[in-house]
Chain A
Amino acid sequence: MSLLEIRNLHASVDGHEILKGLSLTVNRGEVHSIMGPNGSGKSTLSQVLARNEAYEVTDGEVVFNGKDLLAMKPEEAACEGLFMAFQYPVEIPGIGNAYFLRSAINAQHKHRGEEELDAMDFLPLFRERLKLLDMDEGLMNRSLNEGFSGGEKKRNEILQMAMLEPRLAILDETDSGLDIDALKIVAKGVNSLRGPERSMLVITHYQRLLDYIVPDFVHVLVDGQIARSGGPELAHELEEKGYGWAEEETVETA
């Protein structure tokens, strides 16, 4: 059974249509990569799925875990198990990282009717996941993303994902701004979270990330639609031939 079913999705931002009839199916446990040139709609797709209200859906439907995703608020989607690792994580001064994470976990637990985590349950788990991502314990009490380096922010996103244990994780250009060492750490973290009950949507501009997070499927997004789909080899093909190649193909088949 599919976890995410996107059918003929149209979406606009500030009156400009960006997604023009996108369809995609993601089954449980699968890792899909969405690649595409700048402006093709990659980030719009992730923002729409995460229910950012600045993006207007004009047509189509999205079923997530058997429910109508487009009817959900951002927090409802999150509580249903949809997580997005932000391309640009925001800074929130004065709110400790650990405090924030525990609040988020407990908001989700509450929504699902599960028991809330107290500090004693939370801390060992937090320490373990910090280690996995090679992050310093000092981060626990620092303000959320405040003064974090670009690499630390991205690792912090994956840390949150590891703690929140989502059904679907969307990684929105998580590789941007990372040097190769940081990229490897992030990829290691992501790979350790792969499993039969967790699907991922890895959005990236470059093939490089996919050397470390090998997807089951690769899709090329061009002008708001999926232009091509294939296995991991498609990423390499793109790397060689460039996005121009995929765009031309679209024009021919159109």
Chain B
Amino acid sequence: MGSSVDTIRGLAEQDYKWGFITEIEEDRVPKGLNEETIRLISARKGEPEFMLEWRLKAYRYWVSLEREKGEPTWANVTYGPIDYQDITYYSAPKQMPVIESLDKLDPEILRTYEKLGIPLDEQKRLAGVAVDAVFDSVSVATTFKARLGEMGVIFCSFSEAVQKYPDLVRKYLGTVVPQTDNFFAALNAAVFTDGSFVYVPKGVRCPMELSTYFRINAAETGQFERTLIVADEGAYVSYLEGCTAPIRDTNQLHAAVVELVALDNAEIKYSTVQNWYPGDKEGRGGIYNFVTKRGKCAGVNSKISWTQVETGSAITWKYPGCILQGDNSVGEFYSVALTNNRQQADTGTKMIHIGKNTRSTIVSKGISAGFGQNTYRGLVKVMKGATGARNYTQCDSLLIGDRCGAHTFPYIDVRNSTTRMEHEASTSRIGENQLFYLRQRGLSSEDAVSMIVNGFCKTVFRELPMEFAVEAQKLLGISLEGSVG
């Protein structure tokens, strides 16, 4: 054991040096995954030793899993084999090929931008067009950063955090999603290249919604992204992930990890709108989105709330959950997942009640259209000591057309007799009579579908920050185009 640690250390130092002198070499490591790749990534990023060790532990666990069982197969999705040796795990800093002008962009994506009303400069940024006009957003970002800095809020890229705040990173990294959590989390821990880091100090209420958009250096964090958000005692933060516009992206496999930690009386609100490339109508191409997201309500009276609107990706595998460890802590999960054409989604949440009087709310709205397959999978677990725990689950599915599917797998595991659980579920179909009614009043069939779907999702949308909610509504409409008639 001791000798292997020494070996690692030796190699780490060696790599570290190597990392320093490779500036002029190619900025990507060769395809393939082995210990050497991990060392290379860590070295290129100039990481302290604990990070390399942490990564290597993850890698070795991942290798053992790969050898024994391979990817998890319990999810209700099907896809072809992934060749992990055929992926480039590090290419920095730019990952997106630059295109000359918007005219060169896929007209479908351009049309979506226009429908969402995204300003031209922003369109260019998203599409990866070489622009000189982005100074606007950079200056906005700088202003925001200054304001946050005054309040002691740390909001930066993960790489920056590792360099500047190694103690904080070390203290919390992997405390919610350990390297050994699951296949994809282990892979992420081994090879992640960047992501976001947020720390809100004691008693600070973060004055604005934090969004990756305002983070300098947010340029393409790549397919293995890692986010860590810590709200110290009495702190509050609302974090927006993603962007409602489709980002051109050529990576097929995405395995991100998000960890949230809320200490005593702290609250974290995490909102996601995910609209990655879903593949074409026949299901060719499209992103595999295999994400591990989890929050820990570590302190008393803490609260973590997940809100997600998922309309993109070919395959989604995602269960943002809450570990309700502190007494009286609260976990919430509000989700809209839409699958159209050949998309598949297996998504839901895990609520683990450990502390006394812990409460959780789950509202899941699944929409299936075309040949889409939509699965809700949820676990509510109440441990022995969680006296007075309560859970409310509402799980609704909406079907559009007759070739799609909706599936529900709720797991309930209660070990305390004082628990109160409520579970409601429904499946409905958009009726011809509903559509006819709305059309008779003058609405086009697309607007009619959009209206019915938005009504169905209302309880989730109202959890989103205002601008996000408006865009999410538009997005659903766009994602459903052509699904009726």
Contact = CB atoms under 8 A, between A and B. Distances in A.
A206 interface: no
A78 interface: yes
A107 B455 contact: no
A94 interface: yes
A27 to B, nearest CB: 23
Contact of A111 (B437, B442, B451, B459): B442
Contacts of A53: 436
Interface range on chain B (Cβ under 8 Å from partner) = 20 to 34
A143 B455 contact: yes
B78 interface: no
B477 to A, nearest CB: 12
Nearest to A86: B437
Contact of B451 (A50, A77, A100): A100
Interface in A158-177: 160, 164
A90 interface: yes
B456 interface: yes
A54 interface: yes
Interface string A86-104: 1011101111000010011
Contacts of A103: 443, 447, 451
Contacts of B436: 50, 52-53, 74
A202 interface: no
Contacts of B444: 75, 107
Given A92-B455, A94-B457, A107 B432 contact: no
A6 B457 CA distance: 42
B441 A95 contact: no
Contacts of B442: 75, 78-79, 104-105, 107-108, 111, 164
B451 A95 contact: yes
Interface residues of A, number: 31
A83 B451 CA distance: 20
B456 A78 contact: no
A140 to B, nearest CB: 16
A54 B432 contact: yes
Contacts of B431: 90
B452 interface: yes
B451 A107 contact: no
Interface in A92-136: 92-95, 100, 103-105, 107-108, 111
Nearest to A109: B442
A34 interface: no
Contacts of B403: none
A104 B441 contact: yes
B456 A104 contact: no
Given A54-B432, A90-B433, A84 B440 contact: yes
A90 B437 contact: yes
B423 interface: no
A73 interface: yes
Contacts of B432: 54
B440 A164 contact: no
Name B's interface SS: helix
A236 to B, nearest CB: 32
A171 to B, nearest CB: 13
Nearest to A77: B440
Contacts of B227: none
Nearest to B485: A53
A75 B445 contact: yes
A73 B447 CA distance: 14
B437 A107 contact: no
Contacts of B437: 86, 89-90, 92
Interface in B420-467: 431-434, 436-445, 447, 451-452, 454-459
Contact of A78 (B439, B447, B451, B455): B439
B435 to A, nearest CB: 9
B455 A90 contact: no
Given A90-B431, A103-B451, A160 B457 contact: no
Contacts of A83: 440-441
A107 B440 contact: no
Given A52-B436, A107-B447, A93 B441 contact: no
Which of B434, B443, B456, B457 gathers the greatest number of chain A CB atoms within 10 Å?
B443
Contacts of B451: 92, 95, 100, 103
A134 to B, nearest CB: 22
Contacts of B457: 94
B455 A74 contact: no
Interface in B260-305: none
Nearest to A160: B441
Given A75-B439, A75-B443, A92-B451, 8 more contacts: A50-B440, A77-B440, A78-B441, A88-B433, A89-B437, A94-B458, A103-B447, A144-B455
Interface of B: 431-434, 436-445, 447, 451-452, 454-459
7 nearest A-B residue pairs (beta carbon): A94-B455, A94-B458, A104-B441, A95-B455, A74-B439, A78-B442, A107-B442
